[in-house]
Amino acid sequence: MYNKLIDHTILKAFATEADVNKLCAEALEYDFASVCVNPVHVSLASKLLAGSDVLVCTVIGFPLGANTVAIKQAETMDAIHNGAEEIDMVINVGKAKEHNFDYIYEEIKAVVTSAQGRLVKVIIETCYLDDFEKAEACKAAALAGAQFVKTSTGFGTGGATVADVVLMRGAILVDMSVKASGGIKTLDHLEKLVAAGASRIGTSAGIQIMKELKERGK
């Protein structure tokens, strides 16, 4: 069931409707967990995936996380109106660097509330944080009611690592989950991250990974 670990992703600034059509067709073919698209493509993806069990995921405050709380709330509500079923929000990384974790808690809580019961994944952008900051951001996400913490946007200076997944898994509640994303291109990398505690993988290389899986006879 490796396919159901994967959020099939296209978040490039130059992604077109044709790219989203292709992404959704691939997601249906391989029965991935979700497609993850920019907010402008949520409505299209929702229509293309209607009636399937492939979910529509989108990103909020992406990729910098520096939007105001009000804008993140508005983005979330708009995304849900357009058909989003999962929300991946970026925290205000600067506030985490300032150790203002009360702010981090409040913005996550605002998005969780605006998501109206939809699953919320909190992107902490690990490449910019030290271990203390990573752990505290994860704790804020737990207190705010998010269901997942997520390593990276894929637009920072680094992506998912085994060490970060282990740290994040240890910092959250038992009933929460970790999504690893950023630079995951191979089956070996995916398997190492899953073994470390990730239960969702965000990648634009889902097709290559599934082909590699088939070649290995798994």
| Residues catalogued as catalytic | 88, 150, 179
Distance CA 49, CA 55 (A): 7
Q: Are 165 and 193 in contact (CB under 8 A)?
A: yes
* Calpha distance 64→193 (Å, rounded): 24
Residue type, 41: H
What is the number of residues in the chain? 218
Is residue 57 classed as helix, strand or coil in its secondary structure? strand
Instruction: List helix spans (H) across 65-196.
Output: 69-81, 93-97, 101-114, 131-144, 162-171, 187-196
Distance, first Cα to last Cα, the chain:
10
- Distance in angstroms (rounded) separating the CA atoms of residues 218 and 216: 6
Give the contacts of 106 (CB within 8 A, at least 6 positions apart): 69, 144
